[in-house]
A and B are shown apart, each in its own frame.
Chain A
Amino acid sequence: MIHSLFLVNPSGDIFLEKHWKSVVSRSVCDYFLEAREKALDPEDVPPVISTPHHYLISIYRDKLFFLSVIQTEVPPLFVIEFLHRVAEMIQDYFGECSETVIKDNVVMVYELLEEMLDNGFPLATESNVLKEMIRPPTILRSVVNTLTGSSNVGDKLPTGQLSTIPWRRAGVKYTNNEAYFDVVEEIDAILDRTGTTVFAEIQGVVEACVKLSGMPDLTLSFMNPRLLDDVSFHPCVRYKRWESERVLSFIPPDGNFTLMTYHVNAQNLVAIPVYVKHSINFFESGSGGRLDLTVGPKQTMGKTVEGVLVTVHMPKTVLSVSLNATQGSYTYDNATKVLVWDIGKLNPQKLPNLRGSLSLQTGAPKPEENPSLNIDLKIQQLAISGLKVNRLDMFGEKYKPFKGVKYITKAGKFQVRM
Chain B
Amino acid sequence: MSANSAFNEEKGGSSNVGEPEYGHDPASGGIFSSDYKRHDDLKEMLDSNKDSLKLEAMKRIVAMIARGKNASDLFPAVVKNVACKNIEVKKLVYVYLVRYAEEQQDLALLSISTFQRGLKDPNQLIRASALRVLSSIRVTIIVPIMMLAIKEAASDMSPYVRKTAAHAIPKLYSLDPDQKDCLIEVIEKLLADKTTLVAGSVVMAFEEVCPERIDLIHKNYRKLCNLLIDVEEWGQVVIINMLTRYARTQFLNPNMNESLLEEGGGEKAFYGSDGDDDEEEDKDEKDKKKAEAPSVVKRKPYVMDPDHRLLLRNTKPLLQSRNAAVVMAVAQLYFHLAPKAEVGVIAKALVRLMRSHSEVQYVVLQNVATMSIKRRGMFEPYLKSFYIRSTDPTQIKVLKLEVLTNLANETNISTILREFQTYIKSMDKDFVAATIQAIGRCATNIGEVRDTCLNGLVQLLSNRDELVVAESVVVIKKLLQMQPEQHSDIIKHMAKLTDNIQVPMARASILWLIGEYCEHVPKIAPDVLRKMAKTFTNEEDIVKLQIINLAAKLYLTNSKQTKLLTQYVLNLAKYDQNYDIRDRARFIRQLIVPTDKSGALSKYAKKLFLALKPAPVLESPFKDRDHFQLGSLSHLLNAKAGGYQELPDWPEAAPDPSVRNVEVKESVPEWTKCSSREKRKEKKVEKPFYSDSEGESGPTESADSASDTASDSESGSEESGSGSESEESDQQSESGSEEDEEEEERKKKKEKIKAKKPVPESDSEQSSEEEGKKTESKNKPRRGGSDTESGEDKDSETESSESEEEESEEESEEETKKKKKATVSKPPSKPPKIDNKKEKKEMSLLDLDDFDPAPSLSQVTPLNNFLSSSLVTDLEGLSLTDNVLSPTTITPSGNLKTYELLHRITGEGLSVEYCFSRQPFSPDPHMVAVQIQFTNSAASEAKNLHIEDAKLQSGMRMKEFPEIETLPAGETVSVVMGIDFCDSTQAANFQLCTHTRKFFVSIQPPVGELMMPIFMTENEFKKEQGQLMGMNEITEKVTLGEKCHGEHAVIQRVTTAANLSRVPCGSDKECRFAGKTVTSGSLVLVSVVTKDNGAAQVTVNCEKMVIGTMLVKDILQTLTQ
Secondary structure call for the A interface: mixed
| A379-418 interface code vs B (CB 8 A; 1 in, 0 out) | 0000000000000010100000000000000000101010
Are B167 and A75 in touch, CB under 8 angstroms?
A: no
Are B387 and A190 in touch, CB under 8 angstroms?
A: yes
User: Which residue of chain A has the shortest Cβ distance to B327 in the bound complex?
Assistant: A232
Among A230, A315, A365, contact of B348 (Cβ-Cβ < 8 Å): A230
CA distance A43 to B361 in the complex (A): 12
A234 at the interface (CB under 8 A from B): yes
Are A234 and B15 in touch, CB under 8 angstroms?
A: no
Mark out the residues of chain A between 99 and 129 whose CB falls within 8 Å of any chain B CB in the assembled complex.
100, 103-104, 106-107, 109-111, 114, 118-119, 121-123, 125
Contact A244 to B389, CB < 8 A, known contacts A73-B634, A235-B322: no
Are A415 and B15 in touch, CB under 8 angstroms?
A: no
A398 nearest CB across to chain B (Å): 14
B359 at the interface (CB under 8 A from A): yes
Are A21 and B174 in touch, CB under 8 angstroms?
A: yes
A130 nearest CB across to chain B (Å): 13
CA distance A22 to B125 in the complex (A): 25
Are A110 and B395 in touch, CB under 8 angstroms?
A: no
B51 at the interface (CB under 8 A from A): yes
Among A21, A40, A226, A415, contact of B389 (Cβ-Cβ < 8 Å): A415
User: Which residue of chain A has the shortest Cβ distance to B195 in the bound complex?
Assistant: A164
B111 nearest CB across to chain A (Å): 17
Are A239 and B229 in touch, CB under 8 angstroms?
A: yes
Are B425 and A415 in touch, CB under 8 angstroms?
A: no
Are A41 and B393 in touch, CB under 8 angstroms?
A: yes
Are A164 and B196 in touch, CB under 8 angstroms?
A: yes
Are A75 and B850 in touch, CB under 8 angstroms?
A: no
B390 at the interface (CB under 8 A from A): yes
Contact A76 to B636, CB < 8 A, known contacts A22-B102, A151-B88: yes
A162 at the interface (CB under 8 A from B): yes
Interface size class of A (residues with CB under 8 A): 35 or more
CA distance A40 to B393 in the complex (A): 10
Among B17, B124, B201, B422, contact of A13 (Cβ-Cβ < 8 Å): B17
B556 at the interface (CB under 8 A from A): no
A153 at the interface (CB under 8 A from B): yes
B639 nearest CB across to chain A (Å): 7
| B145-178 interface code vs A (CB 8 A; 1 in, 0 out) | 0000000000000111000100110110010000
B321 at the interface (CB under 8 A from A): yes
CA distance A113 to B428 in the complex (A): 39
Among B167, B349, B363, B1027, contact of A47 (Cβ-Cβ < 8 Å): B363
A317 nearest CB across to chain B (Å): 10
B61 nearest CB across to chain A (Å): 9
B-side contacts of A16, CB under 8 Å = 66-67
Among A21, A59, A119, A121, contact of B357 (Cβ-Cβ < 8 Å): A59
Among B197, B363, B849, contact of A80 (Cβ-Cβ < 8 Å): B363
A263 at the interface (CB under 8 A from B): yes
Mark out the residues of chain A between 65 and 88 whose CB falls within 8 Å of any chain B CB in the assembled complex.
70-78, 80-82, 84
Binds B, one of A207-215, A295-303, A350-358, A369-377: A369-377
User: Which residue of chain B has the shortest Cβ distance to A226 in the bound complex?
Assistant: B955
Are B321 and A77 in touch, CB under 8 angstroms?
A: no
A50 at the interface (CB under 8 A from B): yes
B722 at the interface (CB under 8 A from A): no
Binds A, one of B40-48, B642-650, B856-864: B642-650
Are A239 and B357 in touch, CB under 8 angstroms?
A: no
Contact A241 to B850, CB < 8 A, known contacts A46-B395, A118-B132: yes
Binds A, one of B233-241, B280-288, B448-456, B1063-1071: B233-241
CA distance A122 to B237 in the complex (A): 11
B-side contacts of A123, CB under 8 Å = 167
B-side contacts of A292, CB under 8 Å = none
| A320-333 interface code vs B (CB 8 A; 1 in, 0 out) | 00000000000000
Are A72 and B14 in touch, CB under 8 angstroms?
A: no
User: Which residue of chain A has the shortest Cβ distance to B955 in the bound complex?
Assistant: A226
CA distance A263 to B382 in the complex (A): 13
B-side contacts of A19, CB under 8 Å = 99
B612 at the interface (CB under 8 A from A): no
Among B164, B229, B632, B852, contact of A244 (Cβ-Cβ < 8 Å): B852
B777 nearest CB across to chain A (Å): 33
A-side contacts of B852, CB under 8 Å = 244-245
CA distance A374 to B92 in the complex (A): 48
A-side contacts of B442, CB under 8 Å = none
Are A157 and B14 in touch, CB under 8 angstroms?
A: no
- Among A44, A60, A76, A82, chain B packs the most CB atoms within 10 A around the CB of A76
A119 nearest CB across to chain B (Å): 5
Are B167 and A149 in touch, CB under 8 angstroms?
A: no
Contact A121 to B167, CB < 8 A, known contacts A263-B352, A369-B426, A415-B391: yes
A293 nearest CB across to chain B (Å): 17
B724 at the interface (CB under 8 A from A): no
A192 nearest CB across to chain B (Å): 7
B331 nearest CB across to chain A (Å): 10
Are A313 and B229 in touch, CB under 8 angstroms?
A: no
A-side contacts of B419, CB under 8 Å = 198
A166 at the interface (CB under 8 A from B): yes
Among B67, B91, B643, contact of A153 (Cβ-Cβ < 8 Å): B91
B362 at the interface (CB under 8 A from A): yes
Mark out the residues of chain B between 355 and 385 whose CB falls within 8 Å of any chain A CB in the assembled complex.
355, 357-360, 362-364, 384-385
CA distance A107 to B1103 in the complex (A): 52
B-side contacts of A192, CB under 8 Å = 422
Are B1080 and A225 in touch, CB under 8 angstroms?
A: yes
B631 at the interface (CB under 8 A from A): yes
CA distance A13 to B15 in the complex (A): 13
Are B63 and A107 in touch, CB under 8 angstroms?
A: yes
A-side contacts of B323, CB under 8 Å = 81
User: Which residue of chain B has the shortest Cβ distance to A114 in the bound complex?
Assistant: B95
B879 nearest CB across to chain A (Å): 37
B-side contacts of A75, CB under 8 Å = 237, 241, 325, 328-329, 631-633
B232 at the interface (CB under 8 A from A): yes
Are B88 and A153 in touch, CB under 8 angstroms?
A: yes
B837 at the interface (CB under 8 A from A): no
B848 nearest CB across to chain A (Å): 10
A141 at the interface (CB under 8 A from B): no
B96 nearest CB across to chain A (Å): 11
Q: Which residues does A use to contact B, with CB under 8 Å?
A: 1, 13-19, 21-23, 26, 40-41, 43-44, 46-48, 50, 55, 58-61, 70-78, 80-82, 84, 100, 103-104, 106-107, 109-111, 114, 118-119, 121-123, 125, 149, 151-155, 157-159, 161-162, 164, 166, 188, 190, 192, 198-199, 201, 203, 221, 224-226, 229-235, 238-241, 243-246, 249, 258, 261, 263, 313, 315-316, 365, 368-372, 374, 393, 395, 413, 415, 417
The list of the 5 closest CB pairs from A to B, nearest first, reads A72-B643, A149-B52, A153-B88, A157-B125, A43-B393
What are 16 A-B pairs with beta-carbon distances under 8 A?
A21-B174, A60-B358, A72-B641, A73-B634, A75-B631, A76-B633, A84-B360, A106-B14, A110-B66, A111-B91, A153-B87, A162-B160, A221-B1103, A230-B351, A245-B1081, A261-B355
Can you add 10 more A-B contacts, CB < 8 Å, to A16-B67, A232-B322? A13-B18, A16-B66, A72-B644, A100-B15, A103-B14, A149-B51, A164-B230, A199-B385, A226-B955, A230-B352
